[in-house]
Amino acid sequence: MIRPRPITLMLGALVLAGAAKTATSLLSPEAPVDPDSLFVSAASAAGNAAPAAPAAPAAEAPAPQQCEQTPEAMLDAMREERELLDQQKTRLSERQAEIELAEEKLQMDQTQLSDLKGELEDLLAKVKKAQTDDVDRLVALYSAMKPKEAAAIMDDLDIEVSVMVLGTMPERDAAPILAKLNPTRARAISRIILERSKLPGDQRLDNLKL
């Protein structure tokens, strides 16, 4: 019987060992990784690491302004503002009513003044007409008299009446009466008749002898 050589036995053992290892690696899957063991390892690594320097404190941000008024307070403020507006509107309405009343009263006063003015003008017209009628009547009376008789009356008559009558009388009737008057009175009447046609500021009736 032939015995194998020692070197041959060694090579065969190596080959068998490699095949067995290869078979084992193919037939045996890798062992699953345990998460807890990884977490413990990571924690251990973190614990063993040098502590990091403390971060600088961040600048404090300004605190947001809180709303000072609550919804109830805001509603109260709006209600008060509405009440003020209503009060102002009421005062404006009252003022407008007062102005309208004053305008109406002023219109009534103007109407009354206009009516009074019309009545006064009518009254003055009537007075002037009556005065004119009276003067016309006196003129007719003195014109019917003889000049000497009329002059005798006018010498004692009020100077204004004499001037009014002789100034209204036609010249052919006034001249004979004026000639019979007292010379001083005749000169005064003549001067007054001449000056009354001028403006009041231009009249010169001072030192007038009657």
Work out the average pLDDT over 72-100: 90
How does residue 208 score in pLDDT terms, banded at 50, 70 and 90?
low
Locate the domains of the chain by residue range: 74-126, 145-210
pLDDT in tens, 119-168: 999 999 988 888 888 888 989 999 999 999 999 999 988 888 888 889 88
**Are 175 and 208 in contact, with CB atoms under 8 Å apart?**
no
| Of 196 and 86, the one with more pLDDT | 86
Lowest mean pLDDT among 41-45, 97-101, 119-123: 41-45
| Token pair for 25 | 């690696």
| Token pair for 36 | 């807890």
What's the DSSP call for residue 157?
Answer: S
Q: What is the pLDDT, as a whole number, of residue 145?
A: 92
Residue entry with tokens 């003549």: 190
Work out the average pLDDT over 94-98: 92
Q: What is the pLDDT, as a whole number, of residue 18?
A: 60
| Of 173 and 10, the one with more pLDDT | 173
Please compute Rg for the chain using Cα positions. Answer: 71
Q: What is the pLDDT, as a whole number, of residue 16?
A: 64
| Residue of 29, 27, 6 lying closest to 14 (CA atoms) | 6
Q: What is the pLDDT, as a whole number, of residue 32?
A: 46
Angle between helices 171-180 and 147-156 (to 10 degrees): 70
Mean pLDDT across the chain: 74
Coil, helix or strand for 61? coil
| Residue of 136, 127, 204, 207 lying closest to 170 (CA atoms) | 136
Angle between helices 159-168 and 71-144 (to 10 degrees): 80
In this model, does residue 41 exceed pLDDT 50? Answer: no
Q: What is the pLDDT, as a whole number, of residue 40?
A: 41
Q: What is the pLDDT, as a whole number, of residue 22?
A: 55
Work out the average pLDDT over 78-101: 91
How does residue 42 score in pLDDT terms, banded at 50, 70 and 90?
very low
Is the full-model pTM beyond 0.85?
Answer: no
**Four-CA torsion 190, 191, 196, 199, nearest 10 degrees:** 150
In this model, does residue 58 exceed pLDDT 90? Answer: no
User: Whole-angstrom Cα distance, residue 176 to residue 152?
Assistant: 12
In this model, does residue 107 exceed pLDDT 50? Answer: yes
Q: What is the pLDDT, as a whole number, of residue 47?
A: 44
Work out the average pLDDT over 197-207: 57
